[in-house]
Amino acid sequence: MSRFAAPIAEQIWDMKYRFKDADGTPRDVTVEDSWRRIARDLAQVEKAPEKWEEAFYEALEDFKFLPAGRITAGAGTARRVTLFNCFVMGTVPDSMAGIFDMLKEAAVTMQQGGGIGYDFSTIRPRGADVLGVSADASGPLSFMDVWDAMCRTIMSAGSRRGAMMATMRCDHPDVEDFIAAKSDPARLRMFNMSVLITDPFMDAVKADASWDLQFNGKVYRTVQARDLWNRIMKATYEFAEPGVIFIDRINEANNLSYCETIAATNPCGEQPLPPYGACLLGSINMARMVSDPFGDNPQLDVEALNKLVATAVRMMDNVVDVSKFPLDEQQAEAKAKRRIGLGVTGLADALLMVGLRYGSDAAAEQTEAWLKAIARAAYLASVDLAKEKGAFPLFEADAYLASGTMQQMDEDVRDAIAENGIRNALLTSIAPTGTISLYAGNVSSGIEPVFAYAYTRKVLQKDGSRTEEEVVDYAVQMWRDLKGDAPLPDYFVNAQTLAPLDHVKMQAAAQKWVDSSISKTINCPEDISFDAFKDVYMAAWDQGCKGCTTYRPNDVTGSVLSVSESADTAPGEVAAQATAEEGGEVVYMSDPLDRPEELEGSTYKIKWPDSEHALYITINDVVIGGHRRPFEVFINSKNMEHFAWTVALTRMISAVFRRGGDVSFVVEELKAVFDPRGGAWMRGKYIPSMLAAIGGVIEQHLIATGFIAGEGQGLKSDPQAKVVGLDAPRGKACSSCGQYDLRMVEGCMTCGSCGHSKCG
């Protein structure tokens, strides 16, 4: 009998986590093989590896403990990838040479699969003097553009684009430009952006006081703090960014405040890290921890939870020793502090199983109690590891116990740490779990509410046809299995029906016992008033959150999959329905179009150095609704060595083009291909491979026909889509699987059909 609770779970495993040879031949025949591979690899550093391999396997079995995707896909494969998810890079020097040294380090880190964060507050503002060269500084935003372009060309391990976080202090002279940057739909698309909000700034906002914008002690100008706060709020209201990070609160609470200062986070914000800081992630599946779900006495199995947490902490601590690191500085930082980020997923499902409405006071109290139990178990497990293997090298008992987080910890835990030390400096974090939650049977993601109780996805079959498949939330499916056709109780709520302030309440409840931070999206309705929207952020500040990320559908990022009540659904149940405004320059087709007899097109010539024959690339376009878009590609050459792959490429690209949607990702994928034998200089640019050259030709054609805005940019506008052949309009398509199933979850646009997200 399959271990997978839903077909989508097995498909995610096969696509994302199953170990395969380069030719696609599976090494992991079953998911049990994947669990065994991970368990064996992480047990290798133990004195009794066979014993711990079995314990680790038991924790992984049936998706009880879910290591993050980096670990699940990479452990035991001998691939040169890091098992760490999160990095904050070194402090960016305020010099040209230093800035580009940092750019190189970022490229190396992303190439091995790490998401990175940077604080750009250390770069002097635009217009400041540059000593010695009689010039004005171009400012941090100009260098962020360079980072953004680099990220577009670096393919992260596992065929993922790199993800980056950029932060800037609220007192930097260029902060207003930083706030407004995402109003341009084509700029800084590879970054998530957040403003570092200080305690004095929030005091000034509440007092409506003035606020100095300064750099290196020089005040460049003075603004009203409330006006600057409103600018941040307005940009976020209209463009979904920037987020806010309450940086003083983070540093005050940090267990390591005595030996590090934090100024940035990883891309999704759950890991505030010092320069060269690194953290790995994993999640306890709360949906598997409830005994007698929906029964007469449903409750969390505390004994099973404590055992699972202890094993998970040991596994994650071993990852520090097993993993490779892109940079020596990252390895030194990780081993000096041995940070881990143990979190949860399936929280909303677990609350449903015990009869609690997500967002209610009772659910918030229960969440706080559960997260405290996990924190206690994790800290005590790390103390036991310190007894056995030693405390983390930078441990100082008095300073550690004086930190903001540790002052609220129970006395028995504090006493144990004081006597024995602790193995891991920080232990808890709520990470994005969009993909691993699908892999675990579509449990609710992280501490987010259930997004949709059920939705329909189209699945591509081997013969090219598509079948429809219902994807049901794990707790909803359990209710169906136990209760049959009985309607869902009224305590079932989802992300679409939840008030924004209920989101804040749940985040604040969880934050009390999370020593790092939380990746969470507060979904806001499109028609929320600006004043009500601002109240969400002020509530996050007042209730003790370390940051706040919201999502409200907007013209720049577009609409995402939403859900609505339907006459065809059972009472209390919802069906997914994509929503979008009419118009736009992109036409999505429900089925491939037949080829017209005549098409407009252009032919381009590529002469690759050291190749005897040129390539000729013909791109033909179709015109729909007055808009021109690519329809097919032909690649021809007299060089027979190129024949097989050019034919394959022709067919694949043409098939993608004929499906419609935003196909500009084809350009990005081709341009990111590097030839290990070396690239070539063409027209003053270094082109890393012949495939990248083909991608460049397609890109220039799409620019010339008005389909995309410019080189290295996306669509000419960021439209909502018009669908040909379907009654219901659609939002943007997933760049990985092409399905119209995007949703904002935990700060990242995530596909419900394949789990793809920029953040992992």
pLDDT, tens only, 248-282? 999 999 999 999 999 999 999 999 999 999 999 99
Distance CA 425, CA 400 (A): 9
pLDDT of residue 569: 39
Does residue 647 fall inside a structural domain? Answer: yes
Please indicate whether residue 303 is annotated as part of the active site. no
- 259 given a catalytic annotation: no
Residue 622's pLDDT is 81
Is residue 313 in some structural domain?
no
Any domain includes 558: no
Query: Which residue has tokens 């990070």?
Result: 245
pLDDT score of 678: 73
pLDDT for 424 equals 98
State residue 751's pLDDT score.
79
pLDDT digits (tens, 9 = 90+) for 713-751: 555 443 333 333 333 334 566 656 656 677 777 777 787
Structure tokens belonging to residue 41: 């690899």
655 falls within a domain = yes
565 catalytically annotated: no
Residue 619 lies in a domain: yes
Active site residue: 192, 254, 255, 266, which one? Answer: 266
Closest CA to 472 of 555, 569, 553, 364: 569
Q: Which residue has the tokens 């089925």?
A: 591
Residue-level pLDDT at 482: 95
pLDDT at residue 496 in the model: 78
Specify the DSSP class assigned to residue 522. E
Q: Tell me, what's the pLDDT at 708?
A: 80
Q: Which domain holds residue 644?
A: 587-724
Q: How far apart are CA 557 and CA 304, in angstroms?
A: 42
pLDDT of the residue at 607? 83
What are the residues facing 383 on neighbouring strands? none
Q: Is residue 674 part of a domain?
A: yes
Reading the block at residue 138, the tokens are 């171009």
Q: How far apart are the first and last CA of the chain?
A: 29
* Lookup result for tokens 């920080």: 426
> Which pair of tokens denotes residue 207?
């007092």
pLDDT (0 to 100) of residue 148: 86
Run of H or E including 467: strand 466-472
Residue 565 main-chain phi, psi, to 5 deg? -65, 140
- Compute the distance between CA of residue 58 and CA of residue 35 in angstroms, rounded to an integer: 9
Tell me the torsion sign for CA atoms 690, 691, 697, 703. Answer: negative
Looking at the structure of the chain, the number of domains it has is 1
Note whether residue 659 is domain-resident.
Answer: yes
CA proximity to 114, closest of 92, 90, 147, 83? 83
In angstroms, the Cα distances linking 81 to 158, 323, 341 are 9, 8, 19
> For residue 316, is it within any domain?
no
Q: Which of 86, 151, 268, 734 is catalytic?
A: 268
Q: What is the pLDDT of residue 740?
A: 63
CA–CA separation, 179 vs 111, rounded Å? Answer: 28
pLDDT digits 0-9 by tens, 599-649: 788 888 888 776 767 888 999 888 765 667 888 888 888 777 777 888 888
Flag residues of the chain having pLDDT under 70.
1, 113, 132-134, 153-162, 460-466, 554-597, 610, 612, 624-627, 659-661, 676, 712-740, 758-760
pLDDT of residue 730: 46
Give the pLDDT score at 588: 43
Q: What angle do CA 253, 255, 257 make, to 5 degrees?
A: 75
